[in-house]
Structure 1
Amino acid sequence: MRRLFLALVLGLLVVAPAGVGVRSAWAQSGGFGFADETPITLNVAEIEVVNDYVSPMKPPNIEYQLQLTPAEVVRLWVQDRLKAAGSSGKARVVIKNASIVEVNLPRTTGVKGWFTTDQSQRYDGRVEVEIQVDMPAKGYAGSTSVVVTSSQSVSEDVTLNQREKTWSQLVRDMARDMDAQLAKGIRDNLFAAMIL
């Protein structure tokens, strides 16, 4: 039994080094991945993700409580959508913001409040990403950036499960918008760095 367990653990490590494949598969099944989209091929040798956003890890920020944070979704986007196919040069994907902030909403007071179910919290998400391409051998440098925002609110009688579903939908909405805007930004501003 012990050998079987060890073989399974080692098998998982071989199939998914550092948990990347497992995380990606889980994200795909939750509707967060981008593997169904056509990859964008860049004429660079390397693609690097730099996360400049540091979560405060305390209220009103809540992104650190999510199963898949907005910053992790950006990394998944890079993994699924960007491909390096050049012999030199570098693309940097810089995460400048990947936050979700909880805002308490005003509630109905007095007798009317006893019979009213209000929206109690709103969650404001913001993702800022910049792609910088540097190809010195070809004399080319360029960049494109996007800012994506989305909000969702919950009622005062929301369950924990419903709240977590709301957070997931918020991240999903931002991921979809980010994908569309970055793909357009690359076509519009980094066309010279693309391999068609």
Structure 2
Amino acid sequence: MKALSIHGVRVALAGAVVALLAACTSAPVQTYPDVTWRHLDPIVFAAGPVEKVAAYPAGGDNNLEGYLPFSLGKMAMNWVDDRVQTAGTSDILRYSVTEASINSNALKTTKGIKGVFTDDQSEKVEMKVSAKLEVLNANGTQKGEVMATAVRTRTLSESMSVAEREKAVYDETATLLMDLDRELERQINANLGRFLLR
């Protein structure tokens, strides 16, 4: 049996590494659908055009938005398209998302031998979204305004895979956006009822 030369061993190892890297990079990237509210009854305003303003600041050091395959801010901006209809006057609706953040903070975990056998909650994810809806006349003078905020937190265990963590954060984000919808509708009915078409 012919012995494999040092050069042959190197070539074989290089081929194995390339094959391993190709397998790692060809894994499918998980995609998540945008949260929508199209299944809900529209809120109909006696108004004309709708303006949309993305007024939320960029995330800080602990912000996860850049690492997730979905965007809380972009989905929150879609709320007015799905829930609001206008008809009737020259009044303007201005919808602004003023905050959209998903921040992560590390939690203390068990160290040493005990830690090897302990599945701790290793990360706390804090989510917050805020939005404002204004009714303006044709000259831009405000006639009415409502503001709504929704907040949620979720802890993640250290044994979760990256895909499991993303799915958990997405599910919590979807719930957060439904919370925002409910609070906006409540505020609109309580404070902007005079501008609604019943």
TM above 0.5:
yes
By how many angstroms is 1:33 displaced?
Answer: 0.8
Mapped to 1, the partners of 2:61 and 2:175 lie a distance apart of 22
**Distance apart, 1:89 and its partner CA:** 1.0
Match of 2:25 in 1: none
TM-score by length of 1: 0.78
Aligned equivalent of 2:152:
150
The Cα of 1:59 is off from its aligned counterpart by 3.6
2:127 corresponds in structure 1 to: 125
Cα separation, 2, equivalents of 1:112 and 1:101 = 29
Unaligned runs of 5+ in 2: 1-32
- Which residue does the alignment assign to 1:19? none
Equivalent in 6, 21, 41 of residue 38 of structure 1: 41
Aligned to 2:17: none
For residues 84 and 67 of structure 1, the distance between their equivalents in structure 2, rounded to whole angstroms, comes to 32
Residue 179 of structure 1 corresponds to which residue in structure 2? 181
Residue 50 of structure 1 aligns with which residue? Answer: 53
Residues in 2 aligned to 1:191 and 1:73: alpha-carbon distance in whole angstroms: 26
Deviation at 1:168, TM superposition (A): 0.6
Q: 2:108 and 2:195 mapped to 1: Cα distance?
A: 49
Please say if residues 92 and 138 of structure 2, whose CA atoms lie closer than 8 Å, have aligned partners that are also in contact. Answer: no
RMSD: 1.8
Mean CA deviation greater in 61-70 or 147-156: 61-70
Residue-by-residue CA offset, 1:91-130 (whole Å, 9 max, x unaligned): 1111110000001001112332222110111110000111
Q: Which amino acid aligns with 1:34?
A: W
Paired with 1:146 and 1:74, the residues of 2 have a C-alpha distance of 12
Aligned partners of 1:102 and 1:123 also within 8 Å: yes
Alignment of 1:17-28 (within 5 A): 26-27=33-34
Bigger fraction of residues in helix: 1
Aligned AA for 1:46? Answer: P
C-alpha displacement of 1:140 = 7.1
Q: Which has the larger radius of gyration?
A: 2
Q: State which of 177, 188, 191 in structure 2 corresponds to 1:189.
A: 191
For the residue of structure 2 that corresponds to 1:49, the secondary structure is: strand
Aligned length: 165
Equivalent residue for 2:109? 107
**What amino acid is the match of 2:109?**
R
In structure 2, the partner of 1:13 is: none
2:66 corresponds to which letter in structure 1?
Answer: Y
Letter in 2 for 1:178: L
Letter in 1 for 2:116: W
**Are the equivalent residues in 1 in contact too, given 2:94–2:133 (CA < 8 A)?**
yes
Q: Secondary structure at the match of 1:92?
A: strand
Structure 1 residue 136, shift from structure 2 partner? 5.5
- Structure 1: segments with no counterpart, 5+ residues: 1-25
Q: Which residue of 2 aligns with 1:90?
A: 92
The question of whether the paired residues in 2 share the 8 Å contact of 1:107 and 1:119 is answered with yes
